[in-house]
Amino acid sequence: MRLSDMLTQYIMDMLESEGNAEIRRNELADRFGCVPSQINYVLTSRFTPEQGYIVESRRGGGGYIRITRIRADKSTTLMHIINSVGESLDNITAQIMINNLKSASIINDEAARLMLSALSDRTLSGVAPSMRDRVRASIFKNMLIAII
């Protein structure tokens, strides 16, 4: 198992048992024998608002990083995602968001497959490459609004 996967699993275990995870970056780095920037990588790539997490940090001697899983009803979750998309959305981020919606049982397998197909680079091949991410974001937001 890769180090980033082990760090992610450790934090996920804390989230499941305590509801949130409060860590000290240097202590966690010492525990896993890695550099603190590896902790940053895991936090910024695996615990994002798009994936349903809030990450707060406090710097200084008593500093900490607190990770909280967002638990909200379907409409609130969808509105949060719509607001986090912005003006453009790349294909990989769209796939992650759709898989998270499926994991949270907000959409079913069939809806996920349809959304993935509609937002794929292949489907958008007729759109100029410089505009694809903007068009994808617009389509995705409208799909989510239709679900609400």
Q: Which of 69, 88, 123 is the last residue of a domain?
A: 69
The answer to whether the CB of 76 falls within 8 A of the CB of 127 is: no
Plot region of 65 (φ>0 → left; ψ -120 to 50 → alpha; else → beta):
beta
Say if residue 140 is in the same domain as residue 79. yes
Whole-model pTM: value is: 0.63
pLDDT exceeds 70 at position 80: yes
- Structural domain including 110 reads 74-147
61: pLDDT strictly greater than 70:
no
If asked whether residues 58 and 79 sit together in one domain, one would say no
CATH number, residue 9: 3.30.56.130
Q: Based on the structure, what is the number of domains in the chain?
A: 2
84 and 142 both lie in a single domain: yes
Q: Are residues 10 and 55 in the same domain?
A: yes
Is there a single domain that holds both residue 7 and residue 45?
A: yes
**Which residue, 61, 59, 60, 55, is CA-closest to 22?**
55
